[in-house]
Amino acid sequence: MKSLGRHILVEYYDCNAQALNDLSLVENSMKEAAIAAGSTIVDSVFRRFAPHGISGVVVIAESHLAIHTWPEYGYAAVDLFTCGEKVDPWAAHDHLMDVFRARDSETRELPRGELRVLGEDACHKPEGSLGPVPNQAGS
């Protein structure tokens, strides 16, 4: 059965604590990871917490990349959820592993959107489907 997307759950261990607590570095690295994966960035939101730690998400046309860091433990939890045949979430994983200087990682890959439609393959949104976004009122 074909799925709409791939969701890789990543645990990065023994990372550089300063890197995990640098808002600019984390945000830029997540955007670079999205580009390395071959995805299209739509938006991003990141926040640094006191006394440490960062949470953020890069919204991509093909789903999202999200991160939560715990610099005090040298740990980061990352979701790499991508859709479509052309995007490679493992390229994003490799990029982040290098940037955060993780000594180890654990991953789990899950298929998402396994459609149970007989005789048809699941397919992703067509290219160029990022048309105008309706406002909150739905008009």
Residues 23, 18: Cα–Cα separation, whole Å: 10
Coil, helix or strand for 87?
coil
**pLDDT tens for the 139 residues of the chain, in order:** 578 899 999 999 999 999 999 999 999 999 999 999 999 999 999 999 999 999 999 999 999 999 999 999 999 999 999 998 899 999 999 999 999 999 999 999 998 888 765 445 555 555 555 555 545 444 4
Catalytic entry in 7, 29, 39, 63: 63
Residues 51, 80: Cα–Cα separation, whole Å: 26
| Residue 96: half-sphere exposure toward Cβ, Cα within 13 Å | 35
Number of Cβ within a 10 Å radius of residue 56 = 19
- Angle (CA) 66-139-63 rounded to 5° is 20
Number of Cβ within a 10 Å radius of residue 131 = 6
Catalytic entry in 15, 29, 83, 95: 83
Give which of 22, 4, 5, 132 is closest to 65, Cα–Cα: 5
Whether pTM > 0.85 for this model: the answer is no
CATH class of the 3-112 domain in this structure: alpha beta
Known catalytic membership, residue 55: no
Known catalytic membership, residue 52: no
Known catalytic membership, residue 95: no
